[in-house]
Amino acid sequence: QVQLVQPGSEVKKPGASVKASCKASGYTFTSYFMHWVRQAPGQGLEWMGIINPSSGRTTYAQRFQGRVTMTRDTSTSTVYMELSSLRSEDTAIYYCARGWGGFDLWGRGTLVTVSS
């Protein structure tokens, strides 16, 4: 079954880091780019960055540069997104999504709550 599996939720304190995971299955992991997209409560979608699972090369949206790191583990077909120096405004659902011309496969998202 072609799918992206993400953990349901995480709770972090302000100033901490979160490392969200996204495990791919049912297709060739290295053949598709992976993106991270977040959605704050009641808000729209925001693109965070892209990783090439084959080479590991990344590009991050300007507003997250210096605070986000995307990596992959080809042995487990998993991509990771680490966001540091968390603040309350980072409370959101973090989705991984596969694709280049249209994101055709999405995970269910991980709700990251930043609260003291």
Partner 1 sequence: SSELTQDPAVSVALGQTVRITCQGDNLRKYYASWYQQKPGQAPVLVFHGTSNRPSGIPDRFSGSSSGNTASLTITGAQAEDEADYYCDSRDSSDESRDGSGNYWVFGGGTKLTVL
DSSP assigned state of 116:
-
Amino acid at 91: T
Here the tokens at position 43 are 């808000």
Residue from 5, 57, 65, 87 in contact with partner 1 (CB under 8 A): 57
Amino acid at 53: P
79 contributes a contact to partner 1 by CB under 8 A:
no
Residue from 1, 8, 89, 101 in contact with partner 1 (CB under 8 A): 101
69 contributes a contact to partner 1 by CB under 8 A:
no
Query: What x-and-dash track marks residues 2-41 binding partner 1 by CB under 8 A?
Result: -------------------------------x-x-x----
Cβ neighbours of 67 (radius 10 Å) = 16
**CB 7 → partner 1: shortest distance, Å?**
14
Here the tokens at position 20 are 């969200």
Amino acid at 78: T
Round to whole Å and give the CA distance between 87 and 59. 22
Length of the chain: 116
72 contributes a contact to partner 1 by CB under 8 A:
no
- The residues binding partner 1 (CB under 8 A) are 33, 35, 37, 44-47, 50-52, 55, 57-59, 61-62, 95, 97, 99, 101-104, 106-109
